[in-house]
Amino acid sequence: MNITTNKIIKPALKCFIIVLLGNALLLAGCKKFLDQKPQQSLFVPTNLDDLQQLLNNARYAINTAGVGSLAEMIADNYYVISSDWQTWLQAYPAMALNYNWDQTALPYSETWTAAYQGPIYYSNIVLDQLPKITIKAGEESKRDVIKGSSLFYRAFSYLGLAQIYCKPYSSANAGSPGLILKNTASVTEKVTRATVQQTYDRIIIDLKDAAALLPNTVIYPTRPTKTAAYAALARTYLFMRDYANAAQYANLALQQKNDLLDYNSLFPIGNPPINTISNPELVFLDWAYDVIFSLEGYHNIDSTLYQSYNGNDLRKTVFYAFGVAPDSTAYSFMGSYNGSYFRSSIFTGLATDELYLTRAECSARAGNKDSAMADLNKLMQKRWTNTVPYIPFIATDPNDALTKVLIERRKELVFRGLRWPDIRRLNLEGANITLTKVINGTTYTLLPNNLRSVLLLPLQEITIAGVEQNPR
């Protein structure tokens, strides 16, 4: 279903009734209600607790969108063997053909649809209803947290979608088609594609407003904090190649939370290696699943990536396992920050290791090689075996520092959904990263800045809503 059909408040509020009854909160379970016509006698939220329940639904729905898994699928951290690809070509042709950037690939609609019907929609319902709620004395802070969380979830979803369905941010691409910015749950809102510039402007405004409203700490890691909003802003500005602002917000986030996990403490290796609850690096817990190729037992880690880890680098053991991949000579990724709860999914949340690498990259780009190496070494010392002395990285100049940081960024943030946006932004910097995949003896290539690095929108958005399709 496209985002313009049967999408009014009352069907979603029926989902809210289901929430109160304690039934399943997953988006897949609520979609059948979203497709139904409204009824007259439906419960309407009357207090902040009601809105928080709806917001919980938005939280679960974010994961169903699978943006991070899709980003991993079209990047170069892993490959699938030809026989598996052929099987999935028959069952899920859109997924299989987008995997190798086929010119004839149909839109992979599930990610787009799930995001708009899930976190964006539920966040908008809460934001629409919040002004209508009578706030009791002493509930002002609770109201602010609900509003800030809604803004954060919406912005975080838009940020993920923009990496898939929009051109990477640049002055040349600023006027190109961006996302459909649904800022209310109303079906009467005009549906058009914003520009890339307007898309990022909306993300930044929402995240800054969220940062002003969110608390410093929360009980559940799936609920955002002020630190999470700062970290999301750092990621946003990095994707925009606005390195001064990326450094500013990475620094603000690290001022509030700068813990790092010593990988030596993970030995003997558990199953899975990293426990989410006890991970001190976690800033915001988010995961994505549903893209089959990324699941354990279907993917094979790129051999060049695996061999790039030093033998004393504990990530080589913590992240990867042999004997699980379909290719008997390859490794699979096993070290998700989702821990024991969602081992086969992609961690797309926010953590301090990403913040250190963002700040290090920005320092190098600003000409401060020593600050860049200080952040890199602080991280890498926690990744190195304590059985041998750690030898700190030393940079001869800022360019050397940048090279070292970017190499470790890829190795540290593997299976986070970040490699794809990094490829796109770095190619705008002249990195000239060309991607290749081999299936049945045929080599498929994606050249830098190719039009196929922007996926197609669902066909129903083009035929029903009349929005502009991405070119091929």
Domains of the chain (ranges, CATH numbers): 9-463 (1.25.40.390)
348 contacts: CB under 8 Å, gap ≥ 6? 67, 68, 160, 286, 287, 288, 416, 417
User: Which residues, in sequence order, are bridge partners of residue 431?
Assistant: none
Identify the band that residue 208 occupies on the pLDDT scale cut at 50, 70 and 90.
Answer: very high
pLDDT of residue 226: 98
What number of CA atoms fall less than 13 Å from residue 339's CA on the CB side? 15
Write down the residue that tokens 């401060």 correspond to: 368
Res 14: pLDDT: 39
- In whole angstroms, give the CA distance from residue 159 to residue 177: 15
- To the question of pTM greater than 0.85 for the whole model, the response is yes
Token pair 């086969």 in the structure block, residue: 344
Q: Are 247 and 359 in contact (CB under 8 A)?
A: yes
pLDDT of residue 280: 97
Q: H or E segment at 421?
A: helix 419-428
**Res. 290 pLDDT band, cuts 50 70 90:** low
* Of residues 330 and 195, more confidently modeled: 195
Query: How does DSSP classify residue 384?
Result: B
Q: CB-side exposure of 10: number of CA atoms within 13 Å?
A: 8
CB–CB of 360/376 below 8 Å?
Answer: yes
- Percent of the chain at pLDDT above 90? 71
pLDDT value, residue 186: 85
Cα–Cα distance measured from residue 367 to residue 6, given in angstroms and rounded to the nearest whole number: 53
d(CA 173, CA 177): 9
Task: Give me the residue label for tokens 């996302």.
Answer: 179
Least confident of 72-76, 292-296, 362-366, 405-409: 292-296
Give the pLDDT mean for 220-225.
Answer: 93
What angle do helix axes 243-256 and 352-365 make, rounded to 10 degrees? 140
**Does the structure show a pLDDT above 80 at 4?**
no
Distance in angstroms (rounded) separating the CA atoms of residues 287 and 68: 8
Residue 392: exposure state from Cβ atoms within 10 A (0-12, 13-18, ≥19): exposed
Residue 59 has pLDDT above 90, yes or no: no
| 355-365 exposure pattern, b = at least 16 Cβ within 10 A, e = fewer | bbbbbbbbbbb
For residues 152 and 462, what is the distance between their CA atoms, to the nearest angstrom?
Answer: 28
pLDDT-based confidence at residue 63 (cuts at 50, 70, 90): low
Average of per-residue pLDDT values in the chain:
88
- Supply 238's token pair: 């990095």
pLDDT bin (cut points 50, 70, 90) of residue 343 is: low
Percent of the chain residues topping a pLDDT of 70: 87
- pLDDT reported for residue 327: 79
| 56-59-64-67 Cα dihedral, nearest 10 degrees | 170
**pLDDT above 90 for 74:** yes
Cβ contact 193:177 at 8 Å: yes
Which helix (H) or strand (E) is 194 found in, with range?
A: strand 193-195
101/108 Cα distance (integer angstroms): 11
Q: Is the pLDDT of residue 381 over 50?
A: yes
**Residue 152, pLDDT above cutoff 70:** yes
Q: Quick check: 87 and 326 in contact, CB under 8 A?
A: no
Tell me how many degrees the CA angle 408-410-411 measures, rounded to the nearest 5. 65
Residue 396: Cβ-neighbour burial (10 angstroms; 0-12, 13-18, 19+): exposed
Rounded Cα gap, residues 226 and 254, in angstroms: 11
| Residues 6 or more apart in contact with residue 385 via CB below 8 angstroms | 264, 312, 313, 314
Where residue 13 falls among pLDDT bands split at 50, 70, 90?
very low
Report whether 446 contacts 435 (CB < 8 A): yes
Asked if 67 contacts 115 with a C-beta cutoff of 8 angstroms, the reply is yes
- pLDDT value of position 62: 60
Tell me the pLDDT band of 3, cut-offs 50, 70 and 90.
low
Band of pLDDT at residue 110, cut at 50, 70 and 90: confident
Residue (of 125, 123, 116, 110) closest to 42 by Cα position: 125
Question: How far is it, in rounded angstroms, from Cα 462 to Cα 196?
Answer: 18
Q: Is the pLDDT of residue 241 over 60?
A: yes
pLDDT value at 90 more than 70? yes
CA 44, chain centre distance (Å) = 32
CA distance 7 to 270: 45
Between strands 287-288 and 346-347, the pairing is antiparallel
pLDDT value at 43 more than 70: no
